[in-house]
Amino acid sequence: MTAQRGFARRTVALAVTASVAALTLAACGDNSDSKGSSGTKAGGHNAADVSFSKEMIQHHRQAVEMASLAADHASSAQVKSLATKIKGAQDPEIKTMSGWLTSWGEKVPQDMTGMGHDMSSSTPGMMTDADMGKLEKASGAMFDSMFLNMMVEHHEGAVAMAKTEKADGSYRPATALAADVITAQSAEISQMNKMLGKG
């Protein structure tokens, strides 16, 4: 009888272990597919995430280009400091979004910086080639004023794009980045308007 009881206990223990393992696997499967099939692709991202990443990469590249000009052309220490901050924040974000696109099997946009590729008509807040040419030729106080006015418009475009991503995107890291863009760049818009005497 003792042997039978021991065998029964082992059988019950094995059955319980198998049940727990099955439930654990089922739970893992449920989590990985929690997005369902409502327009999302593999990896939990959708078309809005792809568009946001591609457009924001180009947008950030232009901001970095504008910020790089400040080192040689700006006269204000405040403008130079702000430009350094903008470049420091946006360079890593370009790398992050490029990584997402690569992992999704999407092409990272070609870097058209300084190549005369005018994207202003399709992306909010982007400067035209003519605008960038004027900024590059300016210096001193004129550069400072031009840079701040252009960067306010540029940031406002980025905030608009980020709000769209927050509303329509499904990839959590992308919507989190969009939220960071809204917070950081809205604060910088206020700062720049004060520097221009508008705040």
Per residue in 115-159, pLDDT tens? 555 555 578 999 999 999 999 999 999 999 999 999 999 999 999
pLDDT at 41 over 60: no
User: Which ranges constitute the DSSP H helices of the chain?
Assistant: 2-32, 47-73, 77-103, 129-137, 140-168, 172-195
- Residues making up the chain, counted from first to last: 199
Q: Dihedral of CA 168/174/178/183: which sign? A: positive
Task: Choose between 28 and 62: higher pLDDT.
Answer: 62
Confirm if 66 and 154 have CB atoms less than 8 A apart. Answer: yes
Exposed e or buried b for every residue in 118-145, given b needs 16+ CB within 10 A? ebbeebbbbbeeebbeebeebeeeebbb
Segment 15-35 mean pLDDT: 38
196 dihedral zone (left: phi>0; alpha: psi -120 to 50; beta): alpha
Do residues 59 and 157 make contact, with C-beta atoms less than 8 angstroms apart?
Answer: yes
pLDDT for 36 beyond 50: no
- Helix axes 47-73 and 129-137, enclosed angle (nearest 10): 20
Indicate whether 16 pLDDT > 60: no
Rg (CA), the chain: 26
**Amino acid present at 89:** A
Contact 145, 195 (CB under 8 A): no
Q: Read off the pLDDT of residues 48-92 as tens digits, 9 standing for 90 and up.
A: 999 999 999 999 999 999 999 999 999 999 999 999 999 999 999
pTM of the model: 0.76
Indicate if the pLDDT at residue 193 is higher than 70.
yes
What is the reported pLDDT for 125? 93
Cβ atoms of residues 172 and 44 within 8 Å: yes
Check residue 42 and give its pLDDT. 41
How far is it, in rounded angstroms, from Cα 199 to Cα 189? 10
> Whole-angstrom Cα distance, residue 159 to residue 56?
10
